[in-house]
Amino acid sequence: MELVIKIAAVGIIVAVLQQILSRSGRDEYAMLVVLAGLIAVVAMLIPELTELYTSASSVFGI
């Protein structure tokens, strides 16, 4: 549940920053903020996906 809240917080922050930058005419920076947010979320998910893969491997004996 904690991970979901962190991802939601990143999403809200990115959305607000993207809107502010887009409305002020800085569309390039807005796109970079969205890309940085996406990279941050993926970086937060990698350890969880690794743990899921390890658990699935041990359950199925792979």
Q: Which of 47, 46, 37, 51 is nearest to 7 (CA)?
A: 37
pTM: 0.81
pLDDT tens for 34-56 read 999 999 999 999 999 999 999 99
- Cα–Cα distance, 1 to 3 (Å, whole number): 5
Q: Which of 12, 18, 11, 16 is nearest to 41 (CA)?
A: 11
pLDDT tens for 19-36 read 999 999 999 999 999 999
